[in-house]
């Protein structure tokens, strides 16, 4: 007997938007705190090498895992549509498929850990001591790859089901356990870098366990284990296309930010450091706006699944309204409190002065960037990922000349102007394609 969810969707209200978004914002806020505490714990060892090794190892893994971020976005859009269509079996099957991908990719990393770690350390060479410690750190952390990649799928499912408090609970549990174990294993037992890695590993697997428990509704009735459904060629093909488009778009986007950092290095150490400080403002912006973008994913996806143009429009409008209001608050906050934030992030006088000189870009970045955040959420929910990919490719036609030529004419001011071009053109290209989303329902 087929398992169905109610097709009659509750009204899209301001309260519903906030219920989805607020836990995501709080969850995101715990991410930098974890890095700060872990850095402090390793720093208490009083040696530079362990700190560098943990930092290097964490960056290597974060870069590798980031590639699989498509599992979070693809799962969110597809499950939201299944929920909107009242197909509970397919919502569970989508999670099962995503978990298969996550676990499979993770265990592939475990099996291939020796060449992968060697390749990573070859790309990012360090001293013999740091490299040895980083290798030890990675050889422990790599066993968490199946859990970490699978957590993308779990998070996407929870967002689609509007259970973002579960995402917050999962993130809080992992981070709190990680911090507690790090203090005990590193400082209490003296296990050093290996202790920090083990603490994170335990946090990752326990987080997956909690996440699967939170997703237990997808596994009820046993219908999600229907092999014919899970391995249906057409559905797997659609999932592959959606995730493939998202991955291409995300790789290009990440490359855009990487180019920004590399080009900024040409202006000297002070400018590079100041830009790094100012990038923290952009991270804060992303953490705040993600919540409303995720709300758009869930609600737009349900609207598409339910074939409701009215729900689609209201979801897109209300989520964007709250995102825009948040962007304005951030802009004012950065302009007023920006100097104090800069002083908190660095004590070097020259870096402080340079960062203050470019602070104005941080005040306008949330306003210029909010539209592309919200449109990303809308297009992911609608699984219009081919359009997202094509829009990103079109954006590059404007961004590449801007990021090359503007710095030549205006220095670091031009570099920041080029990044604003990236935000504006991304929004413009997606906005131009938005009517196709509505036509897909109206037709």
Mean pLDDT of each 10-residue bin along the chain, 443 residues long: 53 94 89 67 67 72 84 94 90 93 95 87 70 84 94 96 95 90 86 86 95 89 73 91 93 86 81 84 90 96 94 96 96 94 82 91 95 96 95 95 94 95 96 92 68
Per DSSP, the residues of 181-245 read HHIIIIIIS--HHHHHHHHHHHHHHHHHHHHHHHTGGGGTTSGGG-HHHHT-HHHHHHHHHHHHH
Task: Give residue 4's pLDDT.
Answer: 44
How many helices (H) and strands (E) the chain has is answered by: 17, 0
Classified as helix, coil or strand, 7 is: coil
Specify the pLDDT at position 1.
38
pLDDT attached to residue 5: 45
Burial of 36 (0-12, 13-18, 19+ CB in 10 A): exposed
131 bridge partner residues: none
State pTM to two decimals: 0.90
Q: What separation in angstroms does the CA of 149 have from each of 35, 146, 245, 298, 429? A: 19, 6, 18, 21, 30
The confidence score (pLDDT) of residue 38 equals 67
Q: What is the 8-class DSSP label of residue 161?
A: T
């Amino acid at each position: 007997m087929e398992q169905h969810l109610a097709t009659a969707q509750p009204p899209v209200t301001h309260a519903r938007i906030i219920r989805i978004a607020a836990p995501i914002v709080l969850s995101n806020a715990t991410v930098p705190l974890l890095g700060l505490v872990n850095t402090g714990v390793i720093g208490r060892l009083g040696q530079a090498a362990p700190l560098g090794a943990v930092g290097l190892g964490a960056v290597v893994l974060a870069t590798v895992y980031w590639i699989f971020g498509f599992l979070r976005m693809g799962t969110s859009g597809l499950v939201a549509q299944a929920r909107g269509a009242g197909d509970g079996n397919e919502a569970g099957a989508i999670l099962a498929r995503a978990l298969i991908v996550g676990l499979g990719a993770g265990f592939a990393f475990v099996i291939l850990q020796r060449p992968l770690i060697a390749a990573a350390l070859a790309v990012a060479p360090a001293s013999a001591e740091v490299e040895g410690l980083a290798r030890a750190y990675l050889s422990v952390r790599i066993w968490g790859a199946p859990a970490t990649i699978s957590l993308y799928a779990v998070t996407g499912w929870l967002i689609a089901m509007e259970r973002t408090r579960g995402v917050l609970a999962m993130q809080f549990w992992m981070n709190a356990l990680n911090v507690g174990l790090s203090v005990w294993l590193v400082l209490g037992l003296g296990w050093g870098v290996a202790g920090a890695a083990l603490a994170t590993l335990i946090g990752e697997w326990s987080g997956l366990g909690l996440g699967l428990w939170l997703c237990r509704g997808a596994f009820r009735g046993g219908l999600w284990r229907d092999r014919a459904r899970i391995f249906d060629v057409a559905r797997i093909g659609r999932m592959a296309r959606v995730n493939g488009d998202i991955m291409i778009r995300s790789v290009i986007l990440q490359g855009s930010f990487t180019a920004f950092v590399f080009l900024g290095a040409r202006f000297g150490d002070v400018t590079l450091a100041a830009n790094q400080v100012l990038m923290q403002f952009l991270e804060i912006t992303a953490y705040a706006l993600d919540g409303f973008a995720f709300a758009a994913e869930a609600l737009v996806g349900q609207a598409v699944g339910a074939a409701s143009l009215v729900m689609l429009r209201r979801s897109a409008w209300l989520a964007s309204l709250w995102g825009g209001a948040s962007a304005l608050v951030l802009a004012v906050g950065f302009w007023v409190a920006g100097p104090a934030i800069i002083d908190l992030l660095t004590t070097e006088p020259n870096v402080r002065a340079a960062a203050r000189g470019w602070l104005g870009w941080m005040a306008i970045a949330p306003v210029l960037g909010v539209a592309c955040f919200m449109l990303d959420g809308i297009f992911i929910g609608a699984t219009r990922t081919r359009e997202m990919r094509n829009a990103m490719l079109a954006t590059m036609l404007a961004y590449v000349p801007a990021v090359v030529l503007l710095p030549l004419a205006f220095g670091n001011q031009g570099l920041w102007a080029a990044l604003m071009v990236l935000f504006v053109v991304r929004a413009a290209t997606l906005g131009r394609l938005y009517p196709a989303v509505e036509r897909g329902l109206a037709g």
